[in-house]
Structure formats: structure tokens, C-alpha cells
Amino acid sequence: MGIGNRLRALLKGRAAPPTRPAVDLTADLPYAEYVQEEVEHYAGVKVTENLREGGDQDTAAWHHYWARVGEVVHRSPYWPMAAFLEREYGQRGRPVRVLSLGSGYCGRELDLARELRVPHRIVCTDLNPGLFEEARFRARREGLQVEFRVADLNYLTLETQQYDFVLARAVLHHVVNLEHLLGQIAGSLAPGGVLHVVDVVGRNRRLLWEDSERFVNALLTALPDSVTGGHGVEANECGGMEGVRQEVVLPLLREAFEPLYEHRHGAFMRFICTNPRLASRLNPGDPTRRPYLDLLIEIDDAAVRHGLLRPLELWGVYRPSSLHG
């Protein structure tokens, strides 16, 4: 069975008919191959017990870095997420309506459903229905108000003014038809609704910018070899839809939306904390190594704050622009 036929068989009967965007940027790409690659890659990714992406994304150093980020973003009025949703939308006389885009394994969405203490409906979407299976089983077993839908975000059509909260976590950098998707999201938000984005916004296909790569490798060279093992970082070119248009995620986001809260961070820490060799050597559980990890985090943060290096990571909350129409 050819790639196109396998893809059609995969999605048959499970997804709404796609809508062709006004400008379809996938038309000039081997899109069926990209989709197949995406489906096969994420089907083979290790998943943690709480249904998060495992492997390189599950190191102690990476969790420590995100705990440091959390010290900043969790002071915003948009956290904890369940408390924000209850406060802002829980008194509207109807369930709080949440849409998650590119939900993957749906662990965070299940946690949100467990935490909410007001009526709600959470809709998870992903290109690959196989990623839902364990989450679907747990949702049924626990009686959680979570639905699962297959959707290709490049051709997504959403009902207008339907959702209070749209969550796009680590997904926009995989989308080719970004203009179409962002327009659909803006139109789908009910009055007062917001979009929450956690994503990467670096160089297309590579993420790490060359100046940041030179900087971090010089910095690692300055640390003792006993700590780094002489290892550095290297950003490789990616294929398929990985980082396909991530350089324009933030500019396009700001065209269609207004930021209510935006934290840009992480010029190079992702490439340290997800590097198996460096992450194991910078384990925060080791009191002799944690100071070096914290030093790298603080240097990264200072370089971003002072405009010396471009941030790769975005944590933001947005409302549709008054000019978006």
C-alpha cells in the first residue's frame, strides 16, 4: 500500500473532512511523506508513566531546568491552569470548554481533567490516533470528561466561538499552514477566551542558532573536563515537519493575537539538558554537579535578558487581536 493510501486508511472514518486553506503551503511539499514520517516517529517515542514524552525529554537536568522556568511563569495569573480556568470561565453556566492541539499522549490533558472542580469538556486532537489509546483507556476508566479526535492541523476547521481555552504545546513548530491554523484558533475562541502556547521558536529545521552554538560550546570548554567529559553540543538539520517554519511562529502569532503574558527563554539549555552525555554528567541530584547546571542556566538566562542570544523557548498566553478579522 502506498504512502498516500496508508495515510487515507489511517484517517478514514476518524477525522472530519479537511478544509483546504486559502493558501496551501503543503502543495509544494511531499506532504504525504511528511505525514507518514510524523506518524511513524511519534509512534516509536518512549512514553513515561504519566503519559509525557520520554527519552531525551525525560532527563533530571531537563526537569530541573523547567522547574527553574516554572519559578517565573508560575507567578503569572494564568497558573495553576485549573485554577485559572475555574476562576475565569467556571461561572458561565456551562462547562468550561478546552481544546488541545497536537495533544500526543494526552498526559497533561488528563491531569487537567482530574484537577478541574467545575463542569468541563476537554477535546484532544492529534494526527496519529494511535497516540491516544492509553489516554483513552485511562479517561474511560476514571470517568474523565476528555474526548479524542484525529485532526490534521494544516487543514483544521474549528467552530466559531466554541472554546474558552486553546492549548498548543510543542505543536506550532510542526505546522506548515500556520496562517490558516492561527486564524482558525482565533475564530474558535469564545469571548474572553485565550490561547496558551508552549513551543520552540528558533531556526527552521535546526532550532539552535549558530551564534548560540558557538557560545555554548565555548562556555562548556571553560568548565572542567571532569564535569563535561569534554562533550559539546551540535544541532543537526531535521526533516519532515520538524521545525518546518518555526522562525515565523512568533511573528505570525503576534499578527493574529495580542500577548497577555509572554516569557521567552532558553537560548541553549535544551541542547545541554536533552544531550544524553551532558545531561547525565549534570545531574542535579549530584550536589557536586548541580552548581554547574545552575551556572549554565543563569548564564543562559542572562544572555537572553540582555539580548546577547536569541531565545528558543516560548511560554505565552494570548487573546485574538482586535485587528484580526
Question: How does pLDDT run across 224-245, given as a tens digit for each residue?
Answer: 999 999 999 999 999 999 999 9
Distance of alpha carbon 234 from alpha carbon 251, whole angstroms? 26
The pLDDT score that the predictor gives to residue 3 is: 33
DSSP state of 15: B
DSSP H helical ranges for the chain = 3-11, 31-43, 60-73, 81-89, 107-115, 133-142, 178-188, 210-222, 225-228, 249-256, 269-273, 276-281, 290-305
Closest C-alpha to 296, from 319, 318, 271, 264: 271
Confidence (pLDDT) at 16: 45
Side chain identity at residue 139, one-letter code: A
Output the furthest CA–CA distance in the chain (Å, rounded): 61
Note whether 52 and 108 are within 8 A (CB).
Answer: yes
Cα–Cα nearest to 95, from 74, 61, 122: 122
What's the confidence (pLDDT) of residue 18? 60
Q: Where are the domains of the chain?
A: 3-320
Reported as a single tens digit per residue, the pLDDT across 42-86 is 999 999 999 999 999 999 999 999 999 999 999 999 999 999 999
CA distances from 319 to 56, 77, 94, 187, 240 (A): 33, 14, 21, 11, 30
Residues 254-313 have pLDDT tens digits of 999 999 999 999 999 999 999 999 999 999 999 999 999 999 999 999 999 999 999 999
Amino acid 259 reads P
Half-sphere exposure of 276 (CA within 13 A, CB side): 3
pTM of the shown model: 0.93
Distance CA 302, CA 120 (A): 40
What lies within 8 Å, CB to CB, of 157 at 6+ separation is 16, 18, 19, 184
Specify the CATH number of the domain 3-320.
Answer: 3.40.50.150
**pLDDT value for 323:** 57
Examine the pLDDT at 147 and tell me if it is beyond 50: yes
Work out whether the CA dihedral 269, 275, 278, 280 comes out positive or negative: positive
